[in-house]
């Protein structure tokens, strides 16, 4: 294959996921992020078909292995083995497997690519950030609708948090470009542009007389990205860009670039400061800046920040119970709400009660890793990060390789800071950026050993075997995409029919989706609610008991309580309602149902106590339903008092 056409093909292969993946967010599905997942897997299938030449028929016969490759593989194997040994059946394991496979394929492609091909990604991230910033601006001026009714700006994400986090991860690339094109005397912008990007691609678009135009264009892109991060009002993203920009500033200030040198023998990733005193002062300065920024950002949304403190408190208890190996893959969302219920049972007067809600995110990825994979898994991750920043890098990196490496490190720092307060590992486009950043950094590290293929015949057979495996993987992937799409569309049709009140009719669609989604907690809850409202109480309980393994929350226990109540199982209904109340103490509905249950069972004293609690309860978000509940509870207390005065409390139930 002609080298130029091959490079163009690689450009398309690498740029497509980066630039298009966020736009896969689709309301064709109940879970809109499903669209991103299906788009990603479709792109991976495309990559498997067209990338055979690159992956199999390379001219070089040696494969370099890096320390981080081994560590990443160790973490993946550990996570899977840990879940198996713990006998934890984690939800959506098929989606997890295919997503992981796709990310690994991209990692392998980027990590094994030559630096001039990897450099394509430099502008790929700038373009991706530009597209998302323009999308957000259009939402601000009401040209495009927001994906969340409570927020005016979400980009092609579900809410502004992940949107801002994604932009923050792409921002360092445009900043690096601007920094090294602002001074022609100090740095040759043409030299950098033509070396940071493949010469054939930019030969017709960037010439010396067009540098100003390019610079202004990238400057406008940078401003639009920063503007949209601020407009999104994500504190985690703002802190992320502060820290990543500080990193870039000090790297630019101390980076010994010299036009006259052909090789840049510097120790990448390590501080180049001349004295320990300067290092100490810089560390103090950084801590003060980050501390002041954190305090200011905390005050922006105090209740939201306090809610995170609750989540971290509960998560720490999860870690204490299984410190070494955790709760297994996806174990956080399978256990968190149970622990939150235990927390409020032990602390009934906690000020966190008014802030708690159903939750599946740790809002700190390191805590989530510790809760799912224990300290063993967390240590592996920390070791990987250590070698990514402080490992042994090649000594002969040229200027554009250094700039790309610095940009990738800054992007990684941005995601890491963002992950301290949010959930980027639950957002596929950010995960994709993370994997590519890691692959870029790993590609510039020194190898620890090589696999040399000396026997040509074995090499040929090896290529054929790999080719067969890749083709088989592509076929399986396409089959999975088709099955997932059909199941998700059936779920959407069932959900829409359910919302129209045709509960029994919705079961037809939901049952068609069940074989593919029988380990999706959210789907099982939806299916169980349709069964419950169709009068299928026993089947409802069966599905909810399964849903509890993957996604326990107050909705599950409230619906369980309804089903047990319909079957006359008073004790189990009471137990379910109480668990729902403990999970989210601020909710009115579970307590209301519990009061009704006590009335039906003749426990009028308990019913009165619950009714009084509901009347005193502060309203978090006012609605007609809550006002009706308060009105009914007031009437219930009045009826109880009248019935007691008449000596006939049974009349309460009749009046109700």
Does 190 score more than 50 pLDDT? no
Asked if 380 and 75 touch (Cβ cutoff 8 Å), the reply is yes
Neighbours of 260 (CB within 10 A): 4
pLDDT, tens only, 284-324 = 776 777 677 667 666 666 777 888 999 999 999 999 999 99
- Alpha carbons 259 and 273: distance in angstroms, whole number: 21
The CA-based dihedral angle spanning residues 388, 466, 477, 334, taken in that order and rounded to the nearest 10 degrees:
-40
Does 183 score more than 60 pLDDT? no
Q: Which residues touch 623 (CB under 8 Å, ≥6 apart)?
A: none
Q: What is the mean pLDDT of residues 46-51?
A: 72
- Alpha carbons 155 and 169: distance in angstroms, whole number: 15
Percent of the chain with pLDDT over 90: 43
DSSP class of 650? T
Per the model's pLDDT, the better-predicted residue between 439 and 464 turns out to be: 439
pLDDT, tens only, 581-612 = 999 999 999 999 999 999 999 888 899 999 99
pLDDT, tens only, 155-174 = 999 999 999 999 999 999 99
pLDDT, tens only, 318-358 = 999 999 989 988 899 999 999 999 999 999 989 899 889 99
- Alpha carbons 562 and 541: distance in angstroms, whole number: 10
Residue whose tokens read 């400057």: 219
Quote the tokens at residue 141: 């001026």
Per-chain mean pLDDT for the chain: 81
Provide the whole-model pTM: 0.85
For CA atoms 543, 545, 551, 552, the dihedral sign is positive
DSSP code string of 525-585:
HHHHHHHHHTT-HHHHHHHHHHHHHH---HHHHHHHHHHHHHTT-HHHHHHHHHHHHHH-T
Would you state the pLDDT for residue 203?
Answer: 44
Per the model's pLDDT, the better-predicted residue between 241 and 650 turns out to be: 241
All CATH 1.25.40.10 domain ranges of the chain, comma separated, are 489-655
Ranges 57-66, 80-89, 337-346, 605-614: which has the least confidence: 57-66
Q: Residue 131: enclosing H or E segment and its boundaries?
A: helix 120-140
Asked if 324 and 376 touch (Cβ cutoff 8 Å), the reply is yes
Asked if 404 and 76 touch (Cβ cutoff 8 Å), the reply is no
Q: In CATH terms, is domain 489-655 a member of 2.40.170.20?
A: no
Residue whose tokens read 């029994």: 504
Instruction: Find, among 90, 94, 95, the residue nearest to 35 by Cα.
Output: 95
Asked if 552 and 338 touch (Cβ cutoff 8 Å), the reply is yes
DSSP class of 25? -
Q: Residue 62: enclosing H or E segment and its boundaries?
A: strand 62-65
- Alpha carbons 493 and 499: distance in angstroms, whole number: 10
- Alpha carbons 238 and 302: distance in angstroms, whole number: 16
Q: Which residues face 451 on adjacent strands?
A: 63
Would you state the pLDDT for residue 229?
Answer: 95
Residue 7 pLDDT level (bands cut at 50, 70, 90) = low
Would you state the pLDDT for residue 648?
Answer: 62
DSSP code string of 184-218:
TTTS-HHHHHHHHS-HHHHTTT--GGGHHHHHHHH
Q: What is the mean pLDDT of residues 96-111?
A: 85
- Residues in the chain, how many? 656
How far is the CA of 644 from the CAs of 76, 596, 612, 635, 648, in angstroms? 65, 18, 17, 14, 6
* Cα angle 27, 32, 34; round to 5: 125
């Amino acid at each position: 294959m002609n080298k130029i056409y091959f490079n163009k093909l690689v450009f398309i292969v690498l740029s497509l996921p980066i630039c298009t993946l966020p736009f896969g967010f689709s309301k064709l599905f109940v879970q809109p992020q499903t669209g991103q997942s299906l788009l990603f897997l479709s792109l991976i299938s495309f990559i498997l078909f067209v990338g055979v030449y690159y992956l199999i028929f390379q001219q070089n016969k040696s494969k370099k292995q890096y320390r981080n490759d081994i560590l990443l593989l160790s973490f993946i194997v550990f996570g899977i083995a840990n879940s198996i040994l713990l006998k934890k059946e984690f939800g959506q394991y098929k989606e997890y497997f295919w997503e992981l496979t796709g990310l690994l394929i991209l990692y392998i492609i980027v990590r094994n690519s030559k630096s001039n091909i990897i450099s394509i990604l430099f502008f790929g991230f700038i373009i991706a950030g530009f597209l998302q910033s323009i999308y957000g601006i259009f939402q601000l001026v009401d040209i495009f609708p927001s994906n969340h009714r409570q927020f005016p700006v979400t980009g092609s994400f579900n809410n502004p948090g992940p949107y801002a986090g994604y932009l923050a991860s792409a921002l360092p690339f445009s900043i690096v470009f601007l920094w090294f094109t602002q001074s022609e005397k100090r740095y040759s912008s043409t030299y950098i542009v033509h070396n940071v990007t493949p010469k054939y691609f930019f030969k017709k678009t960037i010439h010396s007389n067009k540098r100003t135009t390019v610079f202004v264009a990238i400057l406008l892109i940078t401003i639009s990205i920063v503007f949209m991060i601020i407009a999104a009002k994500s504190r985690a993203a703002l802190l992320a860009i502060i820290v990543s920009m500080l990193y870039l500033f000090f790297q630019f200030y101390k980076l010994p670039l010299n036009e006259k040198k052909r090789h840049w023998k510097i120790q990448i990733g390590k501080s180049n400061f001349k004295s320990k005193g300067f290092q100490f002062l810089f560390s103090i300065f950084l801590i003060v800046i980050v501390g002041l920024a954190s305090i200011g950002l905390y005050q922006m949304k105090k209740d939201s920040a306090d809610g995170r403190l609750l989540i971290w408190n509960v998560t720490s208890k999860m870690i204490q119970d299984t410190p070494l190996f955790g709760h297994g893959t996806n174990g956080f969302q399978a256990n968190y709400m149970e622990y939150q219920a235990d927390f409020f049972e032990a602390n009934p007067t906690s000020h966190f009660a008014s802030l708690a809600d159903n939750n599946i995110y740790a809002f700190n990825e390191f805590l989530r890793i510790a809760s799912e994979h224990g300290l063993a898994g967390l240590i592996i991750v920390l070791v990987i990060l250590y070698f990514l920043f402080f490992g042994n890098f090649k000594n002969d990196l040229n200027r554009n390789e250094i700039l790309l490496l610095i940009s990738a490190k800054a992007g990684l720092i941005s995601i890491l800071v963002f992950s301290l307060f949010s959930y980027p590992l639950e957002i596929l486009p950010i995960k994709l950026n993370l994997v590519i950043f890691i692959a870029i950094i790993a590609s510039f590290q020194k190898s620890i050993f090589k696999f040399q293929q000396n026997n040509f015949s074995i090499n040929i057979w090896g290529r054929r075997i790999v080719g067969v495996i890749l083709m088989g993987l592509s076929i399986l992937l396409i089959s999975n995409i088709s099955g997932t799409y059909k199941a998700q569309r059936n779920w959407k049709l069932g959900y829409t029919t359910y919302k129209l009140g045709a509960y029994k009719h919705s079961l037809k669609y939901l049952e068609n989706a069940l074989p593919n989604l029988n380990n999706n907690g959210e789907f099982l809850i939806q299916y169980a609610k349709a069964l419950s409202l169709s009068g299928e109480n026993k089947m409802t309980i069966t599905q909810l008991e399964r849903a509890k393994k993957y996604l326990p929350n107050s909705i599950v226990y409230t619906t369980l309580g309804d089903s047990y109540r319909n079957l006359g199982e008073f004790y189990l209904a009471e137990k379910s309602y109480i668990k729902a109340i403990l999970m989210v103490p601020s909710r009115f509905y579970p307590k209301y149902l519990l009061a009704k249950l006590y009335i039906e069972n003749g426990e009028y004293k308990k019913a009165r106590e619950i009714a009084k609690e509901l009347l005193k309860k502060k309203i978090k978000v006012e609605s007609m339903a809550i006002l009706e509940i308060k009105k009914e509870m007031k009437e219930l207390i009045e009826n109880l008092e009248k019935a007691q005065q008449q000596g006939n409390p049974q009349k309460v139930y009749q009046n109700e």
